[in-house]
Chains A and B, each alone.
Chain A
């Protein structure tokens, strides 16, 4: 796959706050890329820099091999879908969609019939047939989302930037739109760069997942790798499915606040500071007197509460150093256990399941 967009050491600061701190990035053509980052990680800034709404302080942006960092937004050929959709309230659904075709600077379409045909095609592609004449204030949130997408896609950009495009939709619709966005993108064959703060959305949608952390790309990999092998403790924390311990490595073991964990065979991942991560669903809860196997690690903690989420139960335990430890039990594996309130339990996991950063 050819590279469509390349960013070279892009930095951008607002006063003392470094929003982007040397971003290096190469995005392939015809792919769905999700950009995951906590709020304040600079993800919206990054999109706005790529679109040309903000200027980077330093670095280069190459689009199709050409430098575009000094090119005006309307000459970049990059589409943008806003979180609030930013539809033109004085125009109807069809007029909103036709707007770019009719008014763009380069190669505007002046033939009414061609505009109508293109608008009709894209309206059926995104599933808005029958709403052409509506005012955009008279359609639902999901329909507005589709208008925003159709308005961008009809101009056939090589790349579309989506800034939390599902953030304004309710949960039910969000799940449906995820599949639809992927399907629409595949039919159009353009690159989508989808910014989101939701790890489930990023993992579920992206062919490639980029994780942004305090102005830097912390990881760029496929969903499976990001989920199973987060590149740094920060990525692991942000994925919201790892218990993390800070500490140090000492003689083949990780020494943290609640004890010594013997290390497995695999070498620790390099990171800025040592950390030990164990995924919520790799931990089993046992009575205190149960013996453990040789390759297992065991700590003790007091049960606090559990939370039922349909397919799984998440149980929260208080460690002796006061930190919270989370265990996820999938109900397809076993019936949910009930734990005694404030009861003391053994939390056990396999040595090899832990991720160690040093």
Chain B
């Protein structure tokens, strides 16, 4: 095959990839503008409307379709994700810091940690439920499920930080020590600021993985449902486009967060450049 043929092939492949990646999202977004309450989650669009968005916030007249029972679940999921994010990131950073030097048994410990992201979630969830029952521990999203979320997300945070430390030049820390600065203060003043972008990525990983975790939470969270469980629960009765509207809103929220982050980064880069140019002149 010639070069242009390969290019066309790869282009088509990429296009297909993008279609499969964003197609479902686009379809959901379109269907969320279906008319309500009689319109269902399928094509054709009977009439364009924002009914389901209003329905989500209880702004529609009462109808046979109950509002999404997600308010509590959303708060719970956000709380759980934040808790998981903090604990997993702290564990990930400290564990990766420990792994910068080889220690006895480091290979075994490494695989033990990474195992947490590889074992099937349903089994771990079920196992946790059985252990909790045997020991007479109540299952809650903030106890048993939280532990499983940490076990699951900690390896991701750990691996991200391991990669960051891999590129980190240890002579910067040594330079700080040789200036009379304690190792603890060196970590705070030199190491941490430099690994911070990595810490942010670790936090992002832990948060998103925990936020939409399903299989482990299913058995381990007890009575009170998290958001993925609550949404799944509504499917068992009947699917209405209000779920799609909710999906669109959360996606927009995520994009807004990312956009803010990107804008802040861009501003700081531009400021650095401007200072450089002023001094050049």
A residues neighboring B (CB under 8 Å): 51-53, 72-80, 82, 84, 86-90, 99-100, 103-106, 130-131, 133-135, 138, 148, 151-152, 155
> Does chain A have a CB within 8 A of B63?
no
- Tell me the total A-B contact number using a CB cutoff of 8 A: 88
Starting from the known contacts A53-B177, A84-B169, A103-B179, 17 additional A-B residue pairs (CB-CB under 8 Å) come to: A52-B177, A72-B183, A73-B174, A74-B176, A74-B180, A79-B178, A87-B175, A99-B181, A100-B179, A100-B180, A103-B181, A105-B181, A138-B276, A151-B175, A152-B178, A152-B179, A155-B179
Q: Is the CB of B180 within 8 A of A106?
A: yes
Q: Report Cα–Cα, A84/B172, bound state, in Å.
A: 10
Interface of A is mostly: loop
Please give the distance in Å from B183's CB to the nearest CB on chain A: 7
List chain B residues, Cβ under 8 A from A134. 275-276, 279
Please give the distance in Å from B102's CB to the nearest CB on chain A: 13
Q: Is the CB of B176 within 8 A of A99?
A: yes
Q: Is the CB of A79 within 8 A of B179?
A: yes
Minimal Cβ-Cβ distance residue in B for A75: B180
List chain A residues, Cβ under 8 A from B169. 84, 86
List chain B residues, Cβ under 8 A from A73. 174, 177-178
* 10 closest cross-chain pairs (CB), A and B: A100-B179, A104-B180, A80-B178, A73-B177, A86-B171, A86-B175, A74-B177, A103-B181, A90-B193, A86-B172
Using a CB-CB cutoff of 8 Å, which residues 19-41 of chain B contact chain A? none
Q: Is the CB of A105 within 8 A of B185?
A: yes
Please give the distance in Å from A143's CB to the nearest CB on chain B: 13
Please give the distance in Å from A314's CB to the nearest CB on chain B: 37
Q: Is the CB of A78 within 8 A of B178?
A: yes
List chain B residues, Cβ under 8 A from A100. 176, 179-181
List chain B residues, Cβ under 8 A from A138. 276
List chain A residues, Cβ under 8 A from B189. 99, 103
Known contacts A90-B193, A138-B276: does B182 contact A74 (CB below 8 Å)? Answer: yes
Q: Is the CB of A103 within 8 A of B275?
A: no
Q: Report Cα–Cα, A350/B222, bound state, in Å.
A: 97
Which of B177, B193, B279 has the most A CB atoms < 10 Å from its CB?
A: B177
Q: Report Cα–Cα, A148/B172, bound state, in Å.
A: 11
Q: Report Cα–Cα, A79/B176, bound state, in Å.
A: 10
Q: Report Cα–Cα, A100/B181, bound state, in Å.
A: 7
Q: Is the CB of A74 within 8 A of B181?
A: yes
Q: Report Cα–Cα, A135/B190, bound state, in Å.
A: 15
Please give the distance in Å from A84's CB to the nearest CB on chain B: 6
Q: Report Cα–Cα, A333/B72, bound state, in Å.
A: 95
Which of B175, B185, B276 has the most A CB atoms < 10 Å from its CB?
A: B175
List chain A residues, Cβ under 8 A from B179. 74, 79, 99-100, 103-104, 151-152, 155
